[in-house]
Structure 1
Amino acid sequence: MNKNIRFFSIFILGFSVYYLFDLYCFKSIQNFSKNIFQSKAIAHVTAYSLTLLPLLITLKVLLPEKNITDLLSLDKPIIKGFTLSFTGTLPMILGYSLHFNLLSKVDFESLFINTISSAFFEEIIFRAFLIGILFRFSRLGFLSSVLFGSLLFAQVHLYQSQNTTELFEIFAITLAGSIFFAWVYFENEFNLWTAIFLHFFMNLYWELFTVSGNVSGNLYGNLYKIISIIQIMLITVYCKRRKNIPYQISRKSLFIKTKQVQS
Protein backbone atom coordinates (compact mmCIF):
# COMPACT_ATOMS: atom_id res chain seq x y z
CA MET A 1 0.00 0.00 0.00
CA ASN A 2 1.22 3.48 -0.85
CA LYS A 3 2.73 5.16 2.21
CA ASN A 4 0.49 8.25 1.95
CA ILE A 5 -2.65 6.18 1.46
CA ARG A 6 -1.75 4.08 4.51
CA PHE A 7 -1.11 7.19 6.60
CA PHE A 8 -4.41 8.89 5.76
CA SER A 9 -6.39 5.64 5.98
CA ILE A 10 -5.15 4.94 9.52
CA PHE A 11 -5.57 8.57 10.51
CA ILE A 12 -9.17 8.78 9.26
CA LEU A 13 -10.10 5.39 10.72
CA GLY A 14 -8.56 6.23 14.09
CA PHE A 15 -10.29 9.58 14.33
CA SER A 16 -13.61 8.08 13.21
CA VAL A 17 -13.42 5.48 15.98
CA TYR A 18 -12.59 8.23 18.48
CA TYR A 19 -15.44 10.43 17.24
CA LEU A 20 -18.05 7.65 17.55
CA PHE A 21 -16.68 6.57 20.94
CA ASP A 22 -16.85 10.14 22.17
CA LEU A 23 -20.30 10.73 20.66
CA TYR A 24 -21.93 7.67 22.16
CA CYS A 25 -19.90 6.99 25.31
CA PHE A 26 -18.62 10.31 26.70
CA LYS A 27 -21.81 11.21 28.60
CA SER A 28 -22.25 7.67 29.91
CA ILE A 29 -18.67 7.53 31.20
CA GLN A 30 -19.06 10.99 32.69
CA ASN A 31 -22.28 10.10 34.51
CA PHE A 32 -20.88 6.77 35.73
CA SER A 33 -17.72 8.47 37.02
CA LYS A 34 -19.72 11.23 38.68
CA ASN A 35 -21.72 8.64 40.63
CA ILE A 36 -18.50 7.02 41.83
CA PHE A 37 -16.40 10.09 42.64
CA GLN A 38 -19.23 12.52 43.42
CA SER A 39 -17.34 15.16 41.44
CA LYS A 40 -18.27 16.50 38.02
CA ALA A 41 -14.70 17.76 37.54
CA ILE A 42 -13.15 14.31 38.07
CA ALA A 43 -15.90 12.79 35.92
CA HIS A 44 -15.08 15.23 33.11
CA VAL A 45 -11.37 14.37 33.19
CA THR A 46 -12.13 10.64 33.37
CA ALA A 47 -14.47 10.76 30.37
CA TYR A 48 -11.99 12.76 28.31
CA SER A 49 -9.09 10.48 29.28
CA LEU A 50 -10.90 7.27 28.33
CA THR A 51 -12.38 8.55 25.07
CA LEU A 52 -8.90 9.74 24.11
CA LEU A 53 -7.58 6.16 23.94
CA PRO A 54 -8.45 5.56 20.23
CA LEU A 55 -6.35 8.60 19.29
CA LEU A 56 -3.36 7.38 21.34
CA ILE A 57 -3.59 3.95 19.74
CA THR A 58 -3.83 5.55 16.29
CA LEU A 59 -0.65 7.55 16.94
CA LYS A 60 1.31 4.46 17.96
CA VAL A 61 0.13 2.60 14.85
CA LEU A 62 0.94 5.55 12.60
CA LEU A 63 4.32 6.46 14.09
CA PRO A 64 5.48 3.61 16.36
CA GLU A 65 9.06 4.90 16.58
CA LYS A 66 7.98 8.12 18.32
CA ASN A 67 6.73 8.47 21.89
CA ILE A 68 3.31 9.86 22.72
CA THR A 69 4.55 13.04 24.42
CA ASP A 70 6.51 13.92 21.29
CA LEU A 71 3.57 13.19 18.99
CA LEU A 72 1.27 15.34 21.15
CA SER A 73 3.95 18.03 21.51
CA LEU A 74 3.81 17.79 25.31
CA ASP A 75 7.58 17.34 25.60
CA LYS A 76 8.24 21.04 25.01
CA PRO A 77 9.09 23.59 27.77
CA ILE A 78 6.03 24.23 29.94
CA ILE A 79 7.38 27.47 31.42
CA LYS A 80 7.96 28.91 27.96
CA GLY A 81 4.38 28.18 26.96
CA PHE A 82 3.05 29.62 30.21
CA THR A 83 5.11 32.82 29.98
CA LEU A 84 4.07 33.71 26.44
CA SER A 85 0.40 32.95 27.09
CA PHE A 86 0.23 34.84 30.37
CA THR A 87 2.06 37.88 28.98
CA GLY A 88 0.02 37.86 25.79
CA THR A 89 -3.34 37.75 27.56
CA LEU A 90 -2.60 40.54 30.06
CA PRO A 91 -4.77 43.00 28.04
CA MET A 92 -7.75 40.72 28.68
CA ILE A 93 -7.48 40.64 32.46
CA LEU A 94 -6.60 44.34 32.68
CA GLY A 95 -9.40 45.37 30.34
CA TYR A 96 -11.99 43.09 31.93
CA SER A 97 -11.12 44.39 35.40
CA LEU A 98 -11.94 47.90 34.15
CA HIS A 99 -15.20 47.15 32.34
CA PHE A 100 -16.67 44.12 34.10
CA ASN A 101 -17.25 42.86 37.63
CA LEU A 102 -15.81 39.71 39.13
CA LEU A 103 -18.38 36.98 39.65
CA SER A 104 -19.73 37.12 43.19
CA LYS A 105 -20.00 33.33 43.35
CA VAL A 106 -17.77 30.83 41.57
CA ASP A 107 -18.54 27.16 41.00
CA PHE A 108 -14.97 25.85 41.17
CA GLU A 109 -15.76 22.50 39.60
CA SER A 110 -17.39 24.20 36.61
CA LEU A 111 -14.47 26.63 36.47
CA PHE A 112 -12.02 23.71 36.39
CA ILE A 113 -13.98 22.02 33.59
CA ASN A 114 -14.27 25.18 31.48
CA THR A 115 -10.64 26.22 31.91
CA ILE A 116 -8.07 23.55 32.83
CA SER A 117 -9.80 20.39 31.61
CA SER A 118 -11.30 21.81 28.41
CA ALA A 119 -8.13 23.69 27.45
CA PHE A 120 -5.88 20.66 27.96
CA PHE A 121 -7.99 18.02 26.24
CA GLU A 122 -9.34 20.20 23.41
CA GLU A 123 -5.83 21.28 22.45
CA ILE A 124 -4.67 17.65 22.42
CA ILE A 125 -7.60 16.51 20.29
CA PHE A 126 -7.91 19.40 17.86
CA ARG A 127 -4.53 21.12 17.67
CA ALA A 128 -2.07 18.31 18.46
CA PHE A 129 -3.84 15.38 16.79
CA LEU A 130 -6.41 16.51 14.25
CA ILE A 131 -4.41 19.48 12.92
CA GLY A 132 -0.85 19.01 14.16
CA ILE A 133 -0.26 15.42 13.08
CA LEU A 134 -1.39 16.22 9.54
CA PHE A 135 0.84 19.27 9.28
CA ARG A 136 3.90 17.71 10.93
CA PHE A 137 3.88 14.27 9.31
CA SER A 138 2.18 14.66 5.93
CA ARG A 139 2.63 16.89 2.90
CA LEU A 140 -0.48 18.90 3.73
CA GLY A 141 0.14 22.61 4.29
CA PHE A 142 -1.30 24.88 6.96
CA LEU A 143 -4.71 25.63 5.40
CA SER A 144 -5.14 22.05 4.23
CA SER A 145 -4.37 20.73 7.72
CA VAL A 146 -6.30 23.27 9.72
CA LEU A 147 -9.58 23.31 7.79
CA PHE A 148 -11.41 20.18 8.98
CA GLY A 149 -10.17 20.36 12.58
CA SER A 150 -11.17 24.00 12.89
CA LEU A 151 -14.60 23.43 11.37
CA LEU A 152 -15.19 20.59 13.81
CA PHE A 153 -13.88 22.70 16.71
CA ALA A 154 -16.35 25.43 15.78
CA GLN A 155 -19.19 22.94 15.44
CA VAL A 156 -18.78 21.49 18.94
CA HIS A 157 -19.26 24.95 20.46
CA LEU A 158 -22.56 25.68 18.73
CA TYR A 159 -24.55 24.36 21.71
CA GLN A 160 -23.93 27.78 23.33
CA SER A 161 -26.12 29.59 20.79
CA GLN A 162 -29.66 30.73 21.62
CA ASN A 163 -30.64 31.98 18.17
CA THR A 164 -29.48 31.99 14.54
CA THR A 165 -27.43 35.19 14.91
CA GLU A 166 -25.54 33.83 17.91
CA LEU A 167 -25.02 30.52 16.09
CA PHE A 168 -23.23 32.23 13.19
CA GLU A 169 -21.26 34.48 15.56
CA ILE A 170 -20.09 31.55 17.70
CA PHE A 171 -19.22 29.49 14.63
CA ALA A 172 -17.14 32.31 13.11
CA ILE A 173 -15.38 33.21 16.36
CA THR A 174 -14.47 29.63 17.31
CA LEU A 175 -13.38 28.84 13.74
CA ALA A 176 -11.05 31.84 13.73
CA GLY A 177 -9.91 30.98 17.26
CA SER A 178 -8.97 27.45 16.22
CA ILE A 179 -6.90 28.72 13.28
CA PHE A 180 -5.19 31.22 15.59
CA PHE A 181 -4.41 28.55 18.22
CA ALA A 182 -2.96 26.34 15.49
CA TRP A 183 -0.77 29.20 14.22
CA VAL A 184 0.50 29.90 17.74
CA TYR A 185 1.19 26.21 18.29
CA PHE A 186 3.11 25.80 15.02
CA GLU A 187 5.10 29.04 15.16
CA ASN A 188 6.21 28.48 18.76
CA GLU A 189 8.29 25.43 17.90
CA PHE A 190 5.27 23.09 18.10
CA ASN A 191 4.97 23.73 21.81
CA LEU A 192 1.42 22.64 22.62
CA TRP A 193 1.73 24.11 26.12
CA THR A 194 1.57 27.56 24.52
CA ALA A 195 -1.83 26.79 22.99
CA ILE A 196 -3.01 25.04 26.17
CA PHE A 197 -2.15 27.96 28.45
CA LEU A 198 -3.45 30.47 25.93
CA HIS A 199 -6.75 28.58 25.78
CA PHE A 200 -6.75 28.34 29.59
CA PHE A 201 -6.14 32.04 30.30
CA MET A 202 -8.65 33.23 27.71
CA ASN A 203 -11.32 30.94 29.15
CA LEU A 204 -10.36 31.81 32.74
CA TYR A 205 -10.72 35.57 32.35
CA TRP A 206 -13.98 35.10 30.43
CA GLU A 207 -15.31 32.90 33.23
CA LEU A 208 -14.16 35.02 36.20
CA PHE A 209 -15.62 38.28 34.96
CA THR A 210 -19.22 39.05 33.97
CA VAL A 211 -18.29 39.30 30.29
CA SER A 212 -20.88 37.20 28.46
CA GLY A 213 -22.84 33.98 28.67
CA ASN A 214 -21.12 32.55 25.55
CA VAL A 215 -18.15 33.12 23.25
CA SER A 216 -19.98 35.58 20.97
CA GLY A 217 -19.31 38.16 23.69
CA ASN A 218 -19.78 41.92 23.40
CA LEU A 219 -17.79 45.02 22.44
CA TYR A 220 -15.32 45.18 25.33
CA GLY A 221 -15.18 41.42 25.77
CA ASN A 222 -14.05 40.93 22.18
CA LEU A 223 -11.96 44.10 21.99
CA TYR A 224 -9.54 43.03 24.72
CA LYS A 225 -9.46 39.52 23.33
CA ILE A 226 -8.44 40.88 19.91
CA ILE A 227 -5.77 43.09 21.51
CA SER A 228 -4.40 40.02 23.30
CA ILE A 229 -4.35 38.04 20.05
CA ILE A 230 -2.45 40.83 18.29
CA GLN A 231 0.01 41.07 21.19
CA ILE A 232 0.67 37.31 21.15
CA MET A 233 1.28 37.41 17.40
CA LEU A 234 3.66 40.35 17.73
CA ILE A 235 5.60 38.64 20.54
CA THR A 236 5.85 35.45 18.49
CA VAL A 237 7.04 37.29 15.38
CA TYR A 238 9.54 39.34 17.42
CA CYS A 239 11.02 36.24 19.07
CA LYS A 240 11.36 34.40 15.76
CA ARG A 241 13.06 37.35 14.08
CA ARG A 242 15.39 37.96 17.03
CA LYS A 243 16.50 34.32 16.99
CA ASN A 244 16.42 34.15 13.18
CA ILE A 245 14.02 31.19 13.26
CA PRO A 246 12.20 30.55 9.97
CA TYR A 247 8.40 30.56 9.90
CA GLN A 248 6.63 27.23 9.70
CA ILE A 249 3.77 28.85 7.79
CA SER A 250 4.64 30.65 4.57
CA ARG A 251 3.43 30.84 1.00
CA LYS A 252 5.29 27.59 0.33
CA SER A 253 3.47 25.73 3.11
CA LEU A 254 -0.09 27.02 2.84
CA PHE A 255 -1.59 24.11 0.89
CA ILE A 256 1.08 21.53 0.06
CA LYS A 257 4.52 21.61 1.68
CA THR A 258 7.57 21.33 -0.50
CA LYS A 259 9.56 19.81 2.39
CA GLN A 260 8.94 18.16 5.75
CA VAL A 261 8.68 20.51 8.73
CA GLN A 262 11.19 20.37 11.56
CA SER A 263 9.15 19.61 14.66
Structure 2
Amino acid sequence: MNNKIKTLVMITTFIFCRYILKYFWGDTWSEALLALDNQSHLLLTPARYLFIYSPLVLVANLLFKDVALTEILGLKIAGFQHYFLAAVACCLPMSIGYAYLSSELNLALSGIMVGSVYAGLFEEILFRAVLFGVLFRYCHLGFIPAALLSSVIFGFGHIYQGHDLMSAFAAFAITSVAGTWFAWLFCESGYRIWFPLWMHIFMNAAYGIFGMSGGAAGDLPGNIFKASSIILSLFYIHLLVRRGKKREITLLNLWKNQSTTSTKATLTTESI
Protein backbone atom coordinates (compact mmCIF):
# COMPACT_ATOMS: atom_id res chain seq x y z
CA MET A 1 0.00 0.00 0.00
CA ASN A 2 1.59 3.30 -1.07
CA ASN A 3 1.71 6.46 1.02
CA LYS A 4 -1.10 8.20 -0.86
CA ILE A 5 -3.52 5.40 -0.08
CA LYS A 6 -2.35 5.28 3.55
CA THR A 7 -2.90 9.05 3.81
CA LEU A 8 -6.42 8.69 2.44
CA VAL A 9 -7.15 5.81 4.82
CA MET A 10 -5.95 7.85 7.83
CA ILE A 11 -7.97 10.94 6.90
CA THR A 12 -11.07 8.88 6.09
CA THR A 13 -10.79 7.02 9.39
CA PHE A 14 -10.44 10.25 11.31
CA ILE A 15 -13.49 11.77 9.61
CA PHE A 16 -15.44 8.58 10.35
CA CYS A 17 -14.43 8.71 14.02
CA ARG A 18 -15.05 12.41 14.56
CA TYR A 19 -18.21 12.95 12.55
CA ILE A 20 -19.90 9.54 12.35
CA LEU A 21 -18.80 7.20 15.14
CA LYS A 22 -19.66 9.70 17.86
CA TYR A 23 -23.34 9.32 16.94
CA PHE A 24 -23.13 5.61 17.78
CA TRP A 25 -22.18 6.50 21.34
CA GLY A 26 -25.79 7.14 22.27
CA ASP A 27 -27.41 8.89 25.19
CA THR A 28 -27.68 5.71 27.25
CA TRP A 29 -23.93 5.48 27.85
CA SER A 30 -23.74 9.20 28.70
CA GLU A 31 -26.58 8.97 31.21
CA ALA A 32 -25.07 5.89 32.85
CA LEU A 33 -21.60 7.39 33.21
CA LEU A 34 -22.92 10.77 34.38
CA ALA A 35 -24.85 8.96 37.07
CA LEU A 36 -21.68 7.17 38.16
CA ASP A 37 -19.48 10.29 38.25
CA ASN A 38 -22.17 12.53 39.76
CA GLN A 39 -22.48 14.72 36.63
CA SER A 40 -18.79 15.68 36.81
CA HIS A 41 -17.84 14.18 33.40
CA LEU A 42 -14.78 12.57 35.01
CA LEU A 43 -15.80 9.18 33.63
CA LEU A 44 -17.84 10.30 30.64
CA THR A 45 -15.14 12.38 28.93
CA PRO A 46 -12.33 9.78 28.73
CA ALA A 47 -14.84 7.04 27.86
CA ARG A 48 -16.13 9.07 24.90
CA TYR A 49 -12.61 9.85 23.65
CA LEU A 50 -11.62 6.19 23.83
CA PHE A 51 -14.81 4.96 22.17
CA ILE A 52 -14.75 7.50 19.34
CA TYR A 53 -11.05 7.55 18.49
CA SER A 54 -9.83 4.01 19.24
CA PRO A 55 -10.36 3.02 15.56
CA LEU A 56 -7.95 5.78 14.50
CA VAL A 57 -5.20 4.36 16.71
CA LEU A 58 -5.99 0.83 15.57
CA VAL A 59 -5.83 1.76 11.87
CA ALA A 60 -2.53 3.65 12.35
CA ASN A 61 -1.10 0.62 14.14
CA LEU A 62 -2.24 -1.73 11.37
CA LEU A 63 -0.94 0.50 8.56
CA PHE A 64 2.50 0.78 10.16
CA LYS A 65 3.05 -2.59 11.85
CA ASP A 66 6.80 -2.09 11.95
CA VAL A 67 6.44 0.99 14.17
CA ALA A 68 6.00 0.56 17.92
CA LEU A 69 2.65 1.77 19.26
CA THR A 70 4.42 3.99 21.80
CA GLU A 71 6.18 5.67 18.86
CA ILE A 72 2.88 6.28 17.04
CA LEU A 73 1.34 7.70 20.22
CA GLY A 74 4.42 9.82 21.00
CA LEU A 75 4.56 8.28 24.48
CA LYS A 76 8.20 7.32 24.82
CA ILE A 77 9.10 7.87 28.47
CA ALA A 78 12.51 9.46 27.89
CA GLY A 79 12.42 13.19 28.58
CA PHE A 80 9.13 13.12 30.51
CA GLN A 81 10.44 14.99 33.55
CA HIS A 82 12.48 17.50 31.53
CA TYR A 83 9.51 18.49 29.37
CA PHE A 84 7.30 18.79 32.45
CA LEU A 85 9.71 21.23 34.09
CA ALA A 86 10.19 23.15 30.84
CA ALA A 87 6.42 23.54 30.43
CA VAL A 88 6.08 24.75 34.03
CA ALA A 89 8.75 27.40 33.41
CA CYS A 90 7.19 28.48 30.11
CA CYS A 91 3.66 28.74 31.53
CA LEU A 92 4.58 30.41 34.81
CA PRO A 93 4.50 34.03 33.48
CA MET A 94 1.11 33.37 31.90
CA SER A 95 -0.26 31.96 35.15
CA ILE A 96 1.08 34.90 37.16
CA GLY A 97 -0.36 37.34 34.64
CA TYR A 98 -3.77 35.69 34.71
CA ALA A 99 -3.73 35.71 38.52
CA TYR A 100 -3.06 39.45 38.37
CA LEU A 101 -5.83 40.12 35.86
CA SER A 102 -8.44 37.87 37.44
CA SER A 103 -10.71 38.21 40.44
CA GLU A 104 -11.77 34.55 40.24
CA LEU A 105 -10.29 31.31 41.49
CA ASN A 106 -11.83 28.06 40.24
CA LEU A 107 -10.13 25.10 41.89
CA ALA A 108 -12.79 22.43 41.31
CA LEU A 109 -10.98 19.16 40.60
CA SER A 110 -13.55 18.06 38.01
CA GLY A 111 -13.16 21.30 36.06
CA ILE A 112 -9.36 21.05 36.03
CA MET A 113 -9.42 17.38 35.02
CA VAL A 114 -12.01 17.72 32.24
CA GLY A 115 -11.05 21.13 30.87
CA SER A 116 -7.29 20.85 31.23
CA VAL A 117 -5.90 17.37 31.84
CA TYR A 118 -8.26 15.40 29.61
CA ALA A 119 -8.25 18.05 26.88
CA GLY A 120 -4.46 18.27 26.79
CA LEU A 121 -3.91 14.53 27.06
CA PHE A 122 -6.37 13.28 24.45
CA GLU A 123 -6.13 16.17 21.99
CA GLU A 124 -2.34 16.09 21.86
CA ILE A 125 -2.07 12.33 21.53
CA LEU A 126 -4.88 12.05 18.95
CA PHE A 127 -4.46 15.25 16.92
CA ARG A 128 -0.71 15.74 17.15
CA ALA A 129 0.95 12.35 17.67
CA VAL A 130 -1.47 10.06 15.82
CA LEU A 131 -3.10 12.20 13.11
CA PHE A 132 -0.40 14.78 12.36
CA GLY A 133 2.50 12.52 13.37
CA VAL A 134 1.47 9.64 11.11
CA LEU A 135 0.72 11.93 8.14
CA PHE A 136 4.06 13.71 8.47
CA ARG A 137 6.41 10.97 9.65
CA TYR A 138 5.11 7.85 7.95
CA CYS A 139 2.87 9.01 5.09
CA HIS A 140 5.54 11.63 4.25
CA LEU A 141 3.31 14.64 3.80
CA GLY A 142 5.17 17.91 4.30
CA PHE A 143 4.92 19.71 7.62
CA ILE A 144 2.57 22.39 6.25
CA PRO A 145 -0.07 20.09 4.66
CA ALA A 146 0.08 17.62 7.58
CA ALA A 147 -0.19 20.41 10.15
CA LEU A 148 -2.97 22.17 8.25
CA LEU A 149 -5.06 19.00 7.98
CA SER A 150 -4.82 18.24 11.69
CA SER A 151 -4.94 21.87 12.87
CA VAL A 152 -7.99 22.86 10.81
CA ILE A 153 -9.89 19.90 12.25
CA PHE A 154 -8.63 20.94 15.69
CA GLY A 155 -9.82 24.50 15.04
CA PHE A 156 -13.29 23.40 13.93
CA GLY A 157 -13.64 21.66 17.28
CA HIS A 158 -13.42 25.04 19.05
CA ILE A 159 -15.91 27.06 17.00
CA TYR A 160 -18.48 26.57 19.77
CA GLN A 161 -16.44 28.96 21.94
CA GLY A 162 -17.56 31.89 19.76
CA HIS A 163 -20.82 33.68 20.55
CA ASP A 164 -21.25 35.14 17.04
CA LEU A 165 -19.84 34.66 13.54
CA MET A 166 -16.75 36.80 14.05
CA SER A 167 -15.84 35.37 17.44
CA ALA A 168 -16.41 31.83 16.12
CA PHE A 169 -14.06 32.54 13.22
CA ALA A 170 -11.50 34.04 15.61
CA ALA A 171 -11.69 30.93 17.81
CA PHE A 172 -11.25 28.73 14.74
CA ALA A 173 -8.30 30.72 13.40
CA ILE A 174 -6.47 30.98 16.71
CA THR A 175 -6.88 27.33 17.65
CA SER A 176 -5.82 26.30 14.13
CA VAL A 177 -2.61 28.30 14.57
CA ALA A 178 -2.22 26.83 18.06
CA GLY A 179 -2.57 23.36 16.58
CA THR A 180 0.24 24.08 14.13
CA TRP A 181 2.42 25.40 16.96
CA PHE A 182 1.75 22.26 19.03
CA ALA A 183 2.61 20.13 15.98
CA TRP A 184 5.93 21.99 15.62
CA LEU A 185 6.69 21.48 19.32
CA PHE A 186 5.95 17.78 18.92
CA CYS A 187 8.45 17.49 16.06
CA GLU A 188 11.15 19.56 17.70
CA SER A 189 10.77 17.63 20.97
CA GLY A 190 12.08 14.50 19.31
CA TYR A 191 8.60 13.33 18.32
CA ARG A 192 7.64 12.99 21.97
CA ILE A 193 4.25 14.34 22.94
CA TRP A 194 5.24 15.44 26.45
CA PHE A 195 6.20 19.08 25.85
CA PRO A 196 3.12 20.12 23.81
CA LEU A 197 0.96 17.98 26.11
CA TRP A 198 2.16 19.71 29.28
CA MET A 199 2.00 23.12 27.61
CA HIS A 200 -1.60 22.43 26.56
CA ILE A 201 -2.59 21.23 30.04
CA PHE A 202 -0.96 24.11 31.92
CA MET A 203 -2.25 26.81 29.57
CA ASN A 204 -5.79 25.43 29.75
CA ALA A 205 -5.50 25.14 33.53
CA ALA A 206 -4.38 28.75 33.92
CA TYR A 207 -7.24 29.88 31.70
CA GLY A 208 -9.82 27.89 33.63
CA ILE A 209 -8.56 28.40 37.18
CA PHE A 210 -8.48 32.18 36.83
CA GLY A 211 -11.71 32.34 34.83
CA MET A 212 -10.32 34.27 31.88
CA SER A 213 -13.02 35.41 29.45
CA GLY A 214 -13.06 35.53 25.70
CA GLY A 215 -12.99 31.83 24.82
CA ALA A 216 -10.15 30.51 22.69
CA ALA A 217 -9.65 33.95 21.10
CA GLY A 218 -9.12 35.59 24.48
CA ASP A 219 -8.72 39.33 25.04
CA LEU A 220 -5.72 41.64 24.57
CA PRO A 221 -4.28 41.59 28.14
CA GLY A 222 -4.77 37.85 28.41
CA ASN A 223 -3.27 37.23 24.99
CA ILE A 224 -0.15 39.19 25.92
CA PHE A 225 0.54 36.81 28.79
CA LYS A 226 -0.39 33.82 26.61
CA ALA A 227 2.14 35.05 24.03
CA SER A 228 4.84 35.06 26.73
CA SER A 229 4.43 31.31 27.17
CA ILE A 230 4.57 30.72 23.41
CA ILE A 231 7.74 32.83 23.08
CA LEU A 232 9.38 30.99 25.98
CA SER A 233 8.58 27.63 24.36
CA LEU A 234 10.28 28.81 21.15
CA PHE A 235 13.27 29.92 23.18
CA TYR A 236 13.41 26.53 24.91
CA ILE A 237 13.52 24.69 21.59
CA HIS A 238 16.21 27.13 20.41
CA LEU A 239 18.29 26.22 23.46
CA LEU A 240 17.92 22.52 22.68
CA VAL A 241 19.14 23.17 19.14
CA ARG A 242 22.07 25.19 20.46
CA ARG A 243 22.96 22.18 22.65
CA GLY A 244 23.08 19.88 19.66
CA LYS A 245 19.52 18.73 18.98
CA LYS A 246 18.81 18.16 15.32
CA ARG A 247 16.41 20.69 13.76
CA GLU A 248 13.47 18.57 12.58
CA ILE A 249 11.43 21.12 10.59
CA THR A 250 13.39 22.77 7.79
CA LEU A 251 12.69 24.24 4.37
CA LEU A 252 13.34 20.80 2.90
CA ASN A 253 10.32 19.16 4.55
CA LEU A 254 7.80 22.00 4.69
CA TRP A 255 5.83 20.76 1.67
CA LYS A 256 6.98 17.16 1.36
CA ASN A 257 8.78 14.96 3.83
CA GLN A 258 11.56 13.50 1.72
CA SER A 259 12.61 10.91 4.30
CA THR A 260 12.52 7.40 2.89
CA THR A 261 12.30 5.73 6.29
CA SER A 262 10.17 6.25 9.36
CA THR A 263 11.48 9.23 11.25
CA LYS A 264 13.20 8.28 14.46
CA ALA A 265 13.53 10.47 17.52
CA THR A 266 16.97 11.99 17.75
CA LEU A 267 16.69 13.76 21.09
CA THR A 268 18.10 12.06 24.16
CA THR A 269 17.44 12.96 27.75
CA GLU A 270 21.08 13.98 28.09
CA SER A 271 20.67 16.62 25.40
CA ILE A 272 17.60 18.23 26.99
Indicate whether the TM-score tops 0.5: yes
Q: 1:180 to 1:26 in 2, by over 3 A?
A: farther
2:7 aligns to what?
A: 8
* Aligned ranges 1:75-154 → 2 under 5 Å: 75-76=76-77, 77-103=79-105, 105-154=106-155
1:236 aligns to what?
A: 237
Q: Give the distance between the partners of 2:110 and 2:4, measured in 1 at CA.
A: 44
1:17 aligns to what?
A: 16
Contact 1:27 1:47 (C-alpha < 8 Å) held by counterparts? no
Q: Aligned residues: percent identity? A: 27
1:6-31 CA distance string (max 9 Å, x none): 42243234223322444313563433
Q: Give the distance between the partners of 1:22 and 1:91, measured in 2 at CA.
A: 40
1:262 aligns to what?
A: 264
Q: 1:54 to 1:37 in 2, by over 3 A?
A: same
The alpha-carbon deviation at position 179 of structure 1 amounts to 0.7
1:72 aligns to what?
A: 73
1:198 aligns to what?
A: 199
Q: Give the distance between the partners of 2:112 and 2:31, measured in 1 at CA.
A: 18
TM-score, normalisation: structure 2 = 0.89
1:233-262 CA distance string (max 9 Å, x none): 0111111121x2221111101001222433
Q: Give the distance between the partners of 1:5 and 1:217, measured in 2 at CA.
A: 38
2:247 aligns to what?
A: 247
Q: Aligned letter for 2:174?
A: I
The alpha-carbon deviation at position 173 of structure 1 amounts to 1.1
Q: 1:44 to 1:15 in 2, by over 3 A?
A: same
Pairing 1:171–2:172 present: yes
Q: Aligned letter for 1:16?
A: I
Q: Aligned letter for 1:121?
A: F
Contact 1:34 1:42 (C-alpha < 8 Å) held by counterparts? yes
Q: Aligned letter for 1:262?
A: K
Q: Give the distance between the partners of 2:121 and 2:134, measured in 1 at CA.
A: 17
Structure 2's unaligned 5+ residue stretches are 266-272
SS at match of 2:97: helix
1:173-218 CA distance string (max 9 Å, x none): 1011111111111101111011111100000000111321512211
1:40 aligns to what?
A: 41
Q: Aligned letter for 1:110?
A: G
2:216 aligns to what?
A: 215
The alpha-carbon deviation at position 41 of structure 1 amounts to 1.2
Contact 2:140 2:259 (C-alpha < 8 Å) held by counterparts? yes
SS at match of 2:216: coil
Q: Give the distance between the partners of 1:102 and 1:110, measured in 2 at CA.
A: 14
Q: Give the distance between the partners of 1:214 and 1:168, measured in 2 at CA.
A: 12
The alpha-carbon deviation at position 36 of structure 1 amounts to 3.8
Contact 2:4 2:139 (C-alpha < 8 Å) held by counterparts? no
2:183 aligns to what?
A: 182
1:44-65 CA distance string (max 9 Å, x none): 1111122221012102211123
Q: Give the distance between the partners of 2:12 and 2:170, measured in 1 at CA.
A: 32
The alpha-carbon deviation at position 83 of structure 1 amounts to 1.4
Contact 2:120 2:200 (C-alpha < 8 Å) held by counterparts? yes
Q: Aligned letter for 2:220?
A: L
The alpha-carbon deviation at position 144 of structure 1 amounts to 1.3
Cα RMSD of the aligned pairs, angstroms, is 1.9
